[in-house]
Amino acid sequence: MILGFSARAGLLIASLFVTAGTAAAETVGAETRTPSTVTADAPPHAAVTVDHHAHVHSPAILDFLPKYCGSDGRIGPCPEVFTRAYSPEDLIAEMDAAGVARSLIMSTGYLAESPMMQPPLPEAPRILRAANEWSAALATRYPGRFGIYIGINPVSSSALPEMAHFARDPRVTGIKIHITNSDANLRDPQNVAKLASVFEMAHRTGLAVMIHMRTRAEDYGARDVETFLRDVLPHAGDTPVQIAHAAGWGGIDAPTLSALGAFAAAIEADRGRFANVTFDLAAVWDEDTADDDLEALAALIRRIGPEYFVAASDFPFGGHLADYYAKVYPRLPLTDAEWTTIRTNTPGYDSVDYAKERIRP
């Protein structure tokens, strides 16, 4: 697959979302993870130029949400911000105010096929397709501003057909997988096999993967990551894989730290396996997060390496992007150099050209 970390040195601008003045590449086995260029006079908290995790509901999903939020299958109420009709123009205004040039938009089409919708809607596949098509169109409506990820439920019968439909669509960068919403289970061999087949198809088509991998298991953590690393991730080959919310689902708690700790141990053991993996820092902490939790997360980021992390907001859940990146992000106790690496990290899959260049002749 083109544009894997081992082949995209020219596309990296800042060694994955290292430090100012550390320009040497980090050798990882037979792979080289090449730092991006960061000038010595870069500001301590450089501007985030790419937001790697944002959402805008399509009209099809906005029409669907009242049924979904009122479903008996919901595991909790829908937050008000989740149901709000933000437009692409709203997001662009937020991006401009924060100095963000480009955002990766994660289609919420997968909601239509969520098991939380009870009873299931017969028209769910149509809603899924409409949501993904609308999202894909944003790439041409707003050239250069958005990278588009279609949404799928990886354990549904529509997952592979939906990927096949968009496989050669030059508007589409990748796929968004939401394990919690799909009620997938990394301890169920059948679910794991289906997830592996999705990753295998992503490799064949070049579709980048963004996965919200935390499950509903109360004791989610290291054992689930170990299964993912053994039975799922290898099927992606050199396709880029972005782990959402630093392997959690937003916030910092024991399961999230357990999961990220398992990734840290695996990366320390064999960095070559992770040349195409990044972690986004979308809504992982806020203004109320305890200092001890922030210190624990920062320690894991250092173990893994800040060059493996990318800036992200989970818009609209983090509020105004300018405040989020200027006030909330700096609460994490990293050095200025570490922050520069993360904030300016733009791996190749977030480039304007990736959606076209991933398509094989």
State residue 279's pLDDT score. Answer: 98
Per-residue pLDDT tens digits for 30-80 = 233 333 333 333 344 679 999 999 999 999 999 999 999 999 999 889 999
With bands split at pLDDT 50, 70 and 90, how would you rate the model's confidence at 211? very high
State residue 6's pLDDT score. Answer: 31
State residue 1's pLDDT score. Answer: 37
Beta-bridged to residue 148, according to DSSP, are: 105, 172
Give whole-number Cα distances, 70 to 76, 80, 122, 151, 361, in Å: 10, 13, 17, 21, 46
- Mean pLDDT, residues 295-301: 98
State residue 57's pLDDT score. Answer: 97
pLDDT at 238 > cutoff 60 = yes
pLDDT at 117 > cutoff 60 = yes
Q: How far is CA 119 from the centre of its chain?
A: 29
- Contacts of 188 by beta carbon, 8 Å cutoff, 6+ apart: none
- Strands 208-212 and 241-243 come out as parallel
- Determine the residue type at 234: P
pTM for this predicted structure: 0.88
With bands split at pLDDT 50, 70 and 90, how would you rate the model's confidence at 361? confident
State residue 75's pLDDT score. Answer: 82
Dihedral sign from CA coordinates of 15, 21, 27, 28: negative
From 10-24, 114-128, 214-228, the region with the lowest mean pLDDT: 10-24
State residue 19's pLDDT score. Answer: 28
State residue 257's pLDDT score. Answer: 98
- Strands 31-33 and 26-28 come out as antiparallel
pLDDT at 23 > cutoff 70 = no
Taking Cα atoms as reference points, which of 182, 136, 180 lies closest to residue 159?
182
- What is the phi/psi pair of residue 266, to 5°? -70, -40
pLDDT at 162 > cutoff 90 = yes
pLDDT at 266 > cutoff 60 = yes
- The average confidence (pLDDT) of the chain is 89
Give whole-number Cα distances, 209 to 43, 225, 310, 318, in Å: 31, 16, 14, 22
State residue 354's pLDDT score. Answer: 98
State residue 38's pLDDT score. Answer: 33
- Determine the residue type at 351: S
**Alpha carbon distance 94, 321 (integer Å):** 6
**Alpha carbon distance 134, 132 (integer Å):** 5
Residue 291 · residue 30 · CB < 8 Å: no
- Mean pLDDT, residues 314-337: 95
State residue 217's pLDDT score. Answer: 96
pLDDT at 284 > cutoff 90 = yes
pLDDT at 84 > cutoff 90 = yes
Which tokens is 328 given?
Answer: 């909330």
**Alpha carbon distance 323, 319 (integer Å):** 8
